[in-house]
Amino acid sequence: MSFDPRAVRKDFPVLSRLVRGKPLVYLDNAATSQKPSSVIELEKTFYERHNANIHRGVHLLSEESTAMMDEARAKVARFLNAASAHEIVYTRNATEALNLVAYAWGRKFIKAGDEIVLTEMEHHSNLVPWQLLSQEKGAILKFIPVTPGGSLELESARRQVGPKTRLVAFTAMSNALGTINPVPELLALAKEHGAATLVDASQWTPHLKTDVQAWDADFVAFSAHKMLGPTGIGVLWAKRKILEAMNPFLGGGDMIQEVFLDRSTYNEVPYKFEAGTPNIAGAIAFGAAIDYLSKIGMDDVRRHEIELTRRALEVAAEEGQVTVYGPREPELRGGVISFNVADIHPHDVGQVFDSDGIAIRAGHHCCQPLMRKLKVGGTARASFYLYNTLEDVDAFGRGLRKVKEFFKVPAEVKPRA
């Protein structure tokens, strides 16, 4: 690796604090990442020195704010290898980006009898909008099954996608299983049948190199807060010709060219989809997060996380009473370890971890259909990022042992199938 995660940790102020009298071990990165000082300081500097609304002002502060936001948009485009910054639409988060596609594209182009193909591992944000659309339009939802090992059944996918398929929408990496899906293969399958494609890259983009031109999808959605950026800012990337063909999502200021009492004409993309005052400070600070990740390099981020994941899987297996969900090979998954300890409720597991200063997640992870497929009410989840170390993985193992000690798990208890 060309970076030292121990040195990186110094850039993240929150990692120096104590939790319950113990040094913080932050293993909840799939929910949101921590922020480096450069991101925090740039947002602070914006409000202290440049704060003004964008586009409409002729004074210096407005011009500075507009230029800073345009520069940040260009950074996102370069990070994704997008053809143009005009393909970058700012939203509040990935959820809003996915809803934007459902409302602005789906309501115009999906008709009764059309089929929308999703997967059984989708986050609710890439499921509920399509349920609403299908109920309104009379479209049919179909699902690519998940295998017991946590991967997609590609043979079934080939049967699900057909001449009536209008859209194939799927997560690039599961937030609940860590599964890295075969993005190129799924996109190629959709194109064979002329279907549009949407990739939920919320878990992918923070951890692996993203090249939207190489993918050649139609839509890609993700959030800033999972990749060192602020909350309240997300991105929808889409091909410009598709954005131009879509109806607006929200109506109001800045998304228009001319407004009459009975009609309006709309701004060029991406501004056509950015009604009202956007999260200017968040977008600008997200540019600093992009700078930080670009300086480290996404290939090194990925290599580091494979090392952490490999060791975490070993630790869980050594305990012998821990059920881990998802692929067993660290190269086939992201740094997400969803697990259960014997028959202990995941929330109880999370509280025991917290008592030792270790932050993990517990629940259904906004994937209730997947939890039902796994025949569990939920899981505990540890997730890693670039500032985590092998010592953090050791803390993960310490938490597992503390859970078993606290609940007096007998040696003969076997992990659930």
Do 104 and 248 contact (CB within 8 A), yes or no?
yes
Say which residue the tokens 């929330």 belong to. Answer: 347
**β partners of residue 25:** 358
Judged on CB neighbours under 10 Å (0-12, 13-18, 19+), 359 is: middle
Dist CA 17 CA 177 (whole Å):
29
Q: What is the 3-state secondary structure (H, E, C) of 314-341?
A: HHHHHHCCEEEECCCCHHHECCEEEEEE
Answer yes or no: are the C-beta atoms of 94 and 221 closer than 8 Å.
yes
- CA-CA distance, 119 to 153, in Å (whole number)? 10
Task: Give Cα separations from 391 to 142, 300, 388, 401 (angstroms).
Answer: 43, 19, 8, 15
| Number of other CB atoms surrounding residue 417 within 10 Å | 7
**Interatomic CA distance for residues 413 and 320, integer angstroms:** 9
- Give the Cα separation of 315 and 27 in Å (integer): 15
116's tokens: 């929308």
Tokens of 260: 């009459």
Catalytic residue of the set 118, 366, 393, 395:
366
Residue 366 known to be catalytic: yes
| Chain position carrying tokens 């909008």 | 129
For the record, the structure tokens of 303 come out as 């290599």
Are the CB atoms for 69 and 284 separated by under 8 Å?
yes
Q: Are 416 and 340 in contact (CB under 8 A)?
A: yes
Task: State which amino acid sits at residue 267.
Answer: N
Task: List all residues 6 or more positions away from 377 whose beta carbon is below 8 Å from its beta carbon.
Answer: 345, 346, 364, 371
- The span from the CA of 56 to the CA of 82, in Å, is 27
d(C-alpha 111, C-alpha 343), whole Å:
46
Q: Which uninterrupted H or E stretch holds 142?
A: strand 140-144
Catalytic residues: 366
